[in-house]
Structure formats: structure tokens, C-alpha cells
Structure 1
Amino acid sequence: MTEIINKITSYNLFNYLFPGILFVIIASKWTIYDFQVENIVLGVFLYYFIGMTISRIGSLWIEKILKKSKVVKFSDYKDFVVCSKKDDKINLFLEINNTYRTLISLGFCLIIIKLYSELDRAIEIPEIYTTFILLIFTVYLYVLSYQKQTKYINKRIKANKD
């Protein structure tokens, strides 16, 4: 367990664990769902996974919405690769940027779960439906995340070859 804790980076802490814990606390108080677990080891893994999922939603959809609405504008990826080798602060700023995006995603996810909770309260959705929807959504989300990450790897390889 100590080895695992030592390997947790600030990125993992602020983009996965922290939002996961916040989500569980707020959702448990604000909705009919309670995600809290008594076992601390299980809790850390569950909260980390929830936070990672929130982060992926931010990466795939919140980022896209912010780009299309021109709230943010990205630099060319090749320029990012070259400049991040010259200026190590860029990676720090990228980490902070991703934390903000994840927190925006956290707010979005809390709104969605609140709406679903109210719908569930009103029409009593069978738990098996909720579980199935969540499972399908999670698989789809991580397939898209895998696809996006593979594109970044390929872009990085191309940028370093040129």
C-alpha cells in the first residue's frame, strides 16, 4: 500500500482522487445515491476511479464544448511538444489547466446525477436499468478515451520525428 501511495503524482491526486472524493461527498448529500464506502482501501480505489471517469468526461466532452464555443483555443500540438522541452513550466500549467477542466466536469456530472436522481425518485427506475446504463456509458467513455490517447501518442511520435 505504501508503494502505491508513493507513486501517486500530484496529477493523479488533483485530477482523479480529489474530484472523486468531492463527487462522492456532494452526491451523497445532494441525491438519493450514496457512494461512500467504509473500507478505506476500497474507498480510495472507488473514488480514484470515479474521479478518473469525471476527468475523462472533461477531456472528451467539456474540452470539446469549450473549444467549439471559443472559450479556449489550443496551440498546435507540434508547437506544444517543442516548447514543453524548452520550458518545463508548460507541463505544470497543463496540469493546472486539466484540474480546472476536471472541476468543470465535476460540476456537470453533479448536475446530471441530481437530475437522474430526481427522475429516479419520481418514476422509480429499476436498479438493473441504472446499472446497465452506467456500465454501457463507462465502457463507451473509456473506448473513446483510449482512442483519444492513441491519437495523442501518434501525434507526439510524429512531432518528435520531424
Structure 2
Amino acid sequence: MKEILEKISSYNIFNYLLPGAVFGFWATKEYDLTIPTDILTNAFVYYFLGMIISRIGSLIIAPILKKMKITKFENYKDFVKASKKDEKIDLLSEVNNMYRTIIALIVTIGFLKFYNWLESKLIWLSNWNITIGLVFLLVLFVLSYKKQTKFITKRIKANLDE
């Protein structure tokens, strides 16, 4: 257990575990759910929930904010070069991602509230909850994989071009 805790970075804590715990706490109150009480199971459940919320932030929230011109990104090659010169950029990027994940957390809670309202109007929808959830997760993680692969490729090219 100690070895696992030592490998968890601040990024994982603030972008996965914390939002997952907040979401899990909200869900237990809102839906009268029971999450197992042992700390290890809680950590894994909250981490996974946080991972989902973080991916929603990366794949849905970030592009929307970019399209609305609320955020603007620099060229990735410039980011890689600047990060090597100024180590604080990585920390600032981590904090930036945490804010995006918190926005995604709030949006996700709002969406689930809307879905519950919709489900009360369309009774048949409740029969499809698991299927809808699994399809959503499949699409979310396929797109995450695609984005991460592209990110790795861009980073390799940025480092080779130096």
C-alpha cells in the first residue's frame, strides 16, 4: 500500500482522486448509494470516477472552451521547448488541468441531474442505463486513447526537431 501511495503524483491526486471523491460523495448523497467502506476500494472507485471526469474535461470541456475563445493554446512544439527552460510551466499546466477537471465535475453533475429528469419523463430510458453508460465509456476511452497517442507522437516530433 505504501509503494502505491508513493507512486501517486500530485497530478493524479488533484485531477483524478479528488474529483472522483467529490463526485462519489455527491452520488452517495444524491442517489442514496453505498460505496464500500474500505479505504482501498474507495481509492480505486474514486480514482476511476475521477479519470472519467478528467477525460470529459479533456475531450468535451476543453474543445468547447477553446471554440468559445475562453482559452487559447500555444503550439505544442513551443510548449515542449518552453517546459525545458521553465520547469514551472509543467506545474502551471497541472493546475490548469485541475481547473478544467473541476469544470467537468460540475458539468457532469449537472448532466446527470438532467438525465435523471429526462429518465422520469421517458420511463423506457431506465432499461438502457447500463448500455448507455457502457457505450459512453467505450467512446470516451477510445477517444482518450486516440488523443494520448497523438500527444505522444507530437512530443516525439517536438523532441526530434530540436
Band of TM-score, shorter chain: over 0.9
CA distance 1:126–1:61, shift in 2 (3 Å): closer
SS in 1 for 2:137: helix
The corresponding residue for 2:46 is 47
Measured after TM superposition, the shift of residue 126 of structure 1 is: 6.4
Check whether the contact 1:27–1:113 (CA below 8 A) recurs between aligned residues: no
Measured after TM superposition, the shift of residue 39 of structure 1 is: 2.9
User: Which runs of no fewer than 5 residues in structure 2 stay unpaired?
Assistant: none
CA distance 1:35–1:141, shift in 2 (3 Å): farther
The corresponding residue for 2:24 is 24
Check whether the contact 1:24–1:34 (CA below 8 A) recurs between aligned residues: no
Measured after TM superposition, the shift of residue 115 of structure 1 is: 1.2
SS in 1 for 2:36: coil
1:5 and 2:5 equivalent? yes
Give the whole-Å Cα distance in 2 for the aligned partners of 1:73 and 1:5: 34
Q: How does 1:106-145 map to 2 (within 5 A)?
A: 106-125=105-124, 128-145=127-144
Give the whole-Å Cα distance in 1 for the aligned partners of 2:124 and 2:145: 31
Q: How does 1:64-79 map to 2 (within 5 A)?
A: 64-79=63-78
Check whether the contact 1:56–1:141 (CA below 8 A) recurs between aligned residues: yes
Measured after TM superposition, the shift of residue 118 of structure 1 is: 2.4
CA distance 1:125–1:17, shift in 2 (3 Å): farther
Alpha-carbon RMSD across the aligned residues, in angstroms, is 1.6
Give the whole-Å Cα distance in 2 for the aligned partners of 1:36 and 1:132: 21
Give the whole-Å Cα distance in 1 for the aligned partners of 2:66 and 2:49: 24
Measured after TM superposition, the shift of residue 116 of structure 1 is: 1.5
CA distance 1:35–1:17, shift in 2 (3 Å): farther
Q: How does 1:93-108 map to 2 (within 5 A)?
A: 93-108=92-107
Check whether the contact 1:24–1:35 (CA below 8 A) recurs between aligned residues: no
User: Which runs of no fewer than 5 residues in structure 1 stay unpaired?
Assistant: none
Measured after TM superposition, the shift of residue 33 of structure 1 is: 5.7
SS in 2 for 1:37: coil
TM-score norm. by structure 2 comes to 0.93
Check whether the contact 1:25–1:36 (CA below 8 A) recurs between aligned residues: no
Q: Deviations over 1:23-71 (max 9, x none)?
A: 11123323x3626332322111011000000000000110000111100
Give the whole-Å Cα distance in 1 for the aligned partners of 2:123 and 2:35: 22
